[in-house]
Amino acid sequence: MTKSSILGYPRIGANREWKKALEAYWAGKLEEEAFTAELKRIRLEHLSKLQASGLDWIPVNDFSLYDHILDTATMFGIVPERFAYNGGPVSLQTYYGIARGTTDATAGEMTKWFNTNYHYIVPELTNVTVQLTENKPLAAYEEAKQELGINGKPVIVGPLTLVKLAKGYHKSDLSQWINKLVPVYVEVLQQLQAAGVEWVQIDEPVLVTKLNEDELASLQYIYETFAKQVPNINILLQTYFESVEQYEQVIALPVQGIGLDFAQGSEGNLASLQRFGFPSDKVLGAGIIDGRNIWGASLTEKVALLDKIVTFTSNEKLVVQSSCSLLHVPVTVQAETNLDEELKNALAFADEKVNEIVTLTKIVNNANRAAFATTLQENELRYQSFQTSANRRKEEVRAAITKIVSEPIVRNTPFVKRYEQQQAHLQLPLFPTTTIGSFPQTAEVRKARLQWRKQEWSNEQYEQFIHAEIDKWIALQEEIGLDVLVHGEFERTDMVEFFGEKLAGFAFTKNGWVQSYGSRCVKPPVIYADVAFEEAMTVAETKYAQSLTSKPVKGMLTGPITIMNWSFVRDDLPREQIAYQLAYALRQEVEALEQAGIAIIQVDEPAVREGLPLKEEEQATYLDWSVKAFRLTTGSVQPSTQIHTHMCYCEFHDMIDVIDKMDADVISIETSRSHGELIHSFEVDTYSKGIGLGVYDIHSPRVPQTEEMSQMIDRALRVLDPKIFWINPDCGLKTRGQAETIAALKNMVEATEVARARYTSSLV
């Protein structure tokens, strides 16, 4: 019979209990014993829910203390040498030190998990000794079995993916690192085999990218070794996020099952099945329920897809599952009591997706399809009602965009002349200092917003409070000595949600939280209809802040690609069209800021690269329309208006041409955790527009010293033109405390003054 499964379940809890436990432990409000007990309670609650759902294969070891890649790395003793690790199980203090930094050691680099909105901690392989410190999959399996009687499916990141995502080694040494890791993986699998584990899910998402000959050889070596040394355990080699690139080689591997993505990767994987078939001796994990978006499935369409897939295998060799871990979606729709009923009926979060999988498995296993006619009919009625709703279309928006994008979208004045005009107007010093936009969102700020949302405060009371915060932080910025100021974004819950609330076409969940990194959870907006500008969104606060100071205050917007990539997006329109709708709406806001006298406008695009398709042949097209969307947003301003943008986690050498085409006057890049790597890319590639490299890491509570930032500045100025170099933190300061923010910014300004004294004479 066909089985049902998922690849992973959200860690955070229906009410973010996981987040609250982590932050209480970090704050010293929860002792380690109580902390681990609370995490166990949350973990078992999740497993109990999956058990009650009727799911056949329940994943274990998908739960994490922070990040599953960090879990895997520390399990194998991969700890950066600056943490003075001496072997054995990695303590919680060291584990969280790698994740968040300590007083004496910087945190591990953080970057995006493929093209999702989740971040992982990058393993560092420099000067580490690979060893099995503890068998985490075994502990998770035994806990589930002893506590709940669940014969779970342990999940572990595969060795090829782990090494490919790591840093600190030369790429030509990949096979050497695989050779070091395979024995400890074998040790893990042998212990699982001895414990009676039937199936292990080994995640190798790198298989949806193109591998070279050495990588393919390493892949073959890994799974041949596993087959020889652990012959009595079944391995489900799991891929996701796209179709498998080198399908023939993958299906020939000596494993007992292969998981394929039939959501994002449906077209490619179906084509491979049709061309090459599927081995009759292997289980096919069919990921037909989208694990990355929140839309409910048409069960009728999914049954038809399963009927097509099963022609290449058999019911006995089929597993109906999610396309990827459900980590990327909220926990349950049940709490969403404020949504329009038509929209709510169209949604499926993690729990609802599990139910879809279980229902589809029952249908596949029942020879009498007529028994499910009512279920299918009711589902299709809800599905089609939403798909055809007239509320989702704005013809005037579509017509306006069609007209605009048919013409070239460019700023008519070249950068060099624009920058001269801007400098004449702004009169900024050498190495202008600024921040990325947000200042600390204190408990007082959050409380005030909540009181206003609950209508316990009037609009006037809330506006007075926001003005008081702006007053305070404009004064603090002037006292610190910053050159370009910001209003602080105290009225904004989130850089995407804020704009979505003010644009047509968005809906907002009450409890639709997902993990972004560590304990940082976000509640992505839902783009369910055509997007349209309704009224000015940021002008009032920015104009008020500018009235308090003679220094320029930046207008702060989130860019169209970032809003799209950080939202749950409708799936009935091409993403390109959604990006243009967002850009057209934001263009009207940019024009409103300029008309209000704001001379610097920052349009942040931290998420451009993370939306890059995993398939190389699709990347150029995506980048072309991403650039076009940014220019649609910013291209109508006067030459004297300075356009800034901000980007995160950017492989600059891969993106330099794209960034240049965006034609922003100044770009700031989040780089403090990988500063050296980025500087190296400037030694290879040149960049001629204004640029600011983040000189300290805002994700860590540590306050870097002046000398530390001076070293970063000096290294950057070896390869960048001092006349267009800006100095800033690497990201917004929303999550930091006031005292540490002020201390760090004072050190940054002090480091800037040192640099000015050193370079001013040489530029005269």
Q: Binding site annotation covers 520? A: yes
Q: pLDDT (tens digit, 9 = 90+) per residue, 51-63?
A: 999 999 999 999 9
Q: Is 615 annotated as a binding residue?
A: no
Which two three-digit tokens encode residue 147? 């506590």
Average pLDDT over residues 34-51: 98
Q: What is the pLDDT of residue 760?
A: 80
Q: pLDDT at residue 489 above 80?
A: yes
In the predicted structure, residue 671 carries a pLDDT above the cut 80: no
Residue 740 has what pLDDT?
A: 92
Is 670 annotated among the ligand-binding residues?
yes
Higher pLDDT, residue 702 or 335: 335
Q: How confident is the model at residue 761 (pLDDT cuts 50, 70, 90)?
A: low
Q: What is the pLDDT of residue 764?
A: 52
What is the arithmetic mean of pLDDT over 200-229? 97
> DSSP E strands: which ranges in 21-61?
59-60
pTM: 0.90
Helix (H, G, I), strand (E, B) or coil at 514: strand
Residue keyed to tokens 């006619």: 373
Tell me the one-letter amino acid at 729: P
Span 295-336, pLDDT tens digits: 999 999 999 999 999 999 999 999 999 999 999 999 999 999
What pLDDT, on the 0 to 100 scale, is given for residue 650? 53
Q: Please indicate if the annotation marks 566 as binding a ligand.
A: yes
Q: What is the pLDDT of residue 686?
A: 72
Task: Tell me how many degrees the CA angle 345-350-354 measures, rounded to the nearest 5.
Answer: 90
What pLDDT score was predicted for residue 733?
86
Cα separation, 288 vs 6, whole angstroms: 11
Asked if 262 and 309 touch (Cβ cutoff 8 Å), the reply is: yes
Residues 409-457: tens digit of each pLDDT: 889 899 999 999 999 999 999 999 999 999 999 899 999 999 999 999 9
> In the predicted model, what is the mean pLDDT of residues 725-732?
91
The answer, yes or no, to whether residue 542 has pLDDT greater than 70, is: yes
pLDDT of amino acid 399: 95
Domains of the chain: 3-387 (3.20.20.210), 395-438+476-763 (3.20.20.210)
User: Over 60: is that where the pLDDT of 676 sits?
Assistant: no
Q: Which residue has the tokens 């999740």?
A: 46
Whether 664 and 643 have beta carbons less than 8 Å apart is answered as yes
User: 17: annotated binding-site residue?
Assistant: yes
pLDDT of residue 657: 84
Residue 436 in marked binding region:
yes
Q: What is the rounded distance in angstroms from the CA atom of residue 726 to the CA atom of residue 713?
A: 10
What the block records as the tokens of 439 is: 């200042």
> 324 a known binding residue?
no
Contact criterion met (CB below 8 Å) for 662 and 61: no
Contacts with 21 (C-beta within 8 Å, 6 or more apart), sequence order? 30, 35, 38, 39, 42
φ, ψ of residue 321 to 5 degrees: the values are -150, 175
**Is 502 known to sit in a ligand binding site?**
no
Kindly tell me if the per-residue pLDDT of 675 is higher than 60: no
Of the pLDDT bands very low, low, confident and very high (cuts 50, 70, 90), residue 463 is very high
Q: Which one of 263-277, 438-452, 637-651 scores highest in mean pLDDT?
A: 263-277
Q: From the CA atom positions of the chain, what is the Rg in Å?
A: 26
Q: What is the pLDDT of residues 90-146, one digit of tens each?
A: 999 999 999 999 988 999 999 889 999 999 999 999 999 999 999 999 999 999 999
Q: Which of 689, 699, 603 is nearest to 646 (CA)?
A: 603
Q: Average model confidence (pLDDT) for the chain?
A: 94
| 535 labelled ligand-binding | no
Q: Is 527 annotated as a binding residue?
A: no
109 is in an annotated binding site: no
SS3 at position 534:
coil
Return the pLDDT at 677.
Answer: 61
Helices 174-194 and 213-229: crossing angle in degrees, nearest 10, is: 20
The pLDDT-based confidence of 704 (bands split at 50, 70, 90) is confident
Per DSSP, the residues of 110-168 read: EEESTTSS-EEEPPB-TT--------HHHHHHHHHHHHH----EEEEE-HHHHHHT-BS
Q: Of 161-165, 227-231, 728-732, which range is least confident?
A: 728-732
Residue 56 is assigned to a ligand binding site: no
Residues 6+ apart with CB under 8 A from 51: 58, 148, 150
- Residue 731 annotated in ligand binding: yes
Q: Model confidence at 649, in pLDDT bands (50, 70, 90)?
A: low
Q: Distance of CA 726 to CAs 374, 656, 668, Å? A: 63, 18, 8
Residue 152: pLDDT over 70: yes
| Helix 575-595 with 539-546: angle, nearest 10 deg | 40
The residues annotated with a catalytic role in the active site are 699
Helix (H) or strand (E) holding 147: helix 136-148
CB of 699 within 8 A of CB of 98?
no
State both tokens at 501: 């609330």
pLDDT at 328: 97
